[in-house]
Amino acid sequence: MNRLVCLVLLSSFSIFLGEAYDPCCAQPCQNQGVCLSKGADAYECDCTRTGYYGENCTTRKFTKGFSQKSELFTFIKSSLKPGPNIVHYILTHYKWIWDIINKVSYLRDAIMRYVLMSRSHLVESPPTYNADYGYKSWEAYSNLSYYTRTLPPLPLNCPTPDLPNAKQVVEKVLLRKQFIPDPQRSSLMFAFFAQHFTHQFFKSDFKNGPAFTKALGHGVDLGHIYGETLERQHKLRLFKDGKLKYQVVDGEMYPPLVKDVQVEMHYPPHIPENLKFAVGHEVFGLVPGLMMYATIWLREHNRVCDVMKQEHPDWDDERIFQTSRLILIGKSLSHHSQQEIPAFLKTYIRTTNSPVAPRRE
């Protein structure tokens, strides 16, 4: 209630000062319609391909109002397609049906493919907007330094919303006084896997600002394991049998030391030189769970190299390295999409592989 009064006061105050905000600041266009401001107090919603029409793209299209064939297709598709809530309900209920489906591999694979594709279709491709371009442009499409956005940014100089106090949010939402086990009985490994995985493409370029990324692959390229540049990759490679550099501590394989390979890593100041490990991503030394996964993937890469070398004794270092990297990209994607995502969404559909696949030797 208080906030509403504040907002009303604030807006009347700015009107009083003669300072009118861009009408698109209020985000009047619904259903992913795009707002175009026309002067200081008028706007127009572009409802193209949203399946809606009207001043604010709020009226569902039925039989009338299709200006193009593509509009009609959008309508037919969206009418036949079950909504995301229905799909989610089906995937998270009727366990007995899923138990049967999971045993029929072609059925299971087809449904899994549908789930993954329908999720990826939620994201516009090719990319449309970014922080500097609220309209479609070649620059937004071709300049890979930008993070892309599905919706255009708000106009500049919109009023800042009345945000709650950060300390209060932390205390209300995050602070716990007693241990509450996860109802799905997953562990911290789960959260660290996701964090490790997403750092390969969410890699903000703080030199250029939060709108920019340094991860120019924009996807699962395992740049966080092999380094984002060729120079870093070369410093991390052993150049023998395709392997990455490593050290052996108490009979176990660990990443090499920063002082031995000379790649940039961020560590807190008190960490001694003999505990500064060097891996693909420069911040992984800051969080133990991330360094743990970096170590697991290093071991996996070198294990795959051993298998490759046995299968193809005539392959050189480069070919073994490149092939092992592709295999790890596949493993990482498959683990993420077939184990992490279903566990995250609590869906019953599963592949038969257990999270750590048993070695078939």
* Site residues (vs ligand NAG, CB under 6 A): 28, 54-56, 58, 143, 145
Residue 155, burial from CB neighbour count under 10 angstroms (0-12, 13-18, 19+): middle
Whether 244 contacts 324, CB under 8 Å:
no
CA–CA separation, 187 vs 228, rounded Å?
A: 29
Whether 45 contacts 57, CB under 8 Å:
yes
Residue 82 or 209: the one with the smaller Cβ distance to ligand NAG is 209
What's the CA dihedral at 129, 135, 136, 141 to 10 degrees?
-40
Q: Specify the 3-state DSSP secondary structure of 75.
A: helix
Residue 52 or 297: the one with the smaller Cβ distance to ligand NAG is 52
Beta-carbon contacts of 111 under 8 Å, excluding residues fewer than 6 positions away, are 101, 349
CA–CA separation, 100 vs 295, rounded Å?
A: 37
- Smallest gap, in angstroms, from Cβ of residue 7 to ligand NAG? 14
- Smallest gap, in angstroms, from Cβ of residue 212 to ligand NAG? 7
CA–CA separation, 290 vs 52, rounded Å?
A: 44
- Smallest gap, in angstroms, from Cβ of residue 58 to ligand NAG? 6
Whether 155 contacts 135, CB under 8 Å:
no
Whether 298 contacts 279, CB under 8 Å:
yes
CA–CA separation, 14 vs 258, rounded Å?
A: 55
Q: What one-character DSSP code corresponds to residue 42?
A: E
Residue 48 or 56: the one with the smaller Cβ distance to ligand NAG is 56
Ligand-binding annotation for 119, yes or no, is: yes
Residue 205 or 317: the one with the smaller Cβ distance to ligand NAG is 205
Phi-psi region of 16 (alpha: psi -120 to 50; beta: other; left: phi over 0): alpha
- Smallest gap, in angstroms, from Cβ of residue 246 to ligand NAG? 35
- Smallest gap, in angstroms, from Cβ of residue 26 to ligand NAG? 6
- Smallest gap, in angstroms, from Cβ of residue 56 to ligand NAG? 4
Residue 55 or 171: the one with the smaller Cβ distance to ligand NAG is 55
Q: Which H or E element spans position 111?
A: helix 105-120
Q: What one-character DSSP code corresponds to residue 330?
A: H
Residue 28 or 65: the one with the smaller Cβ distance to ligand NAG is 28
- Smallest gap, in angstroms, from Cβ of residue 238 to ligand NAG? 32
Phi-psi region of 141 (alpha: psi -120 to 50; beta: other; left: phi over 0): alpha
Residue 28 or 51: the one with the smaller Cβ distance to ligand NAG is 28
Q: Of 186, 187, 196, which is closest to residue 346 (Cα–Cα)?
A: 186
For residue 247, the tally of other CB atoms under 10 A from its CB is: 12
Q: Which residue has the tokens 């903000």?
A: 204
Residue 33 or 342: the one with the smaller Cβ distance to ligand NAG is 33
| Structure tokens, 350 | 């599963």
- Smallest gap, in angstroms, from Cβ of residue 52 to ligand NAG? 11
Detail the residues annotated as belonging to a binding site for substrate.
Answer: 119
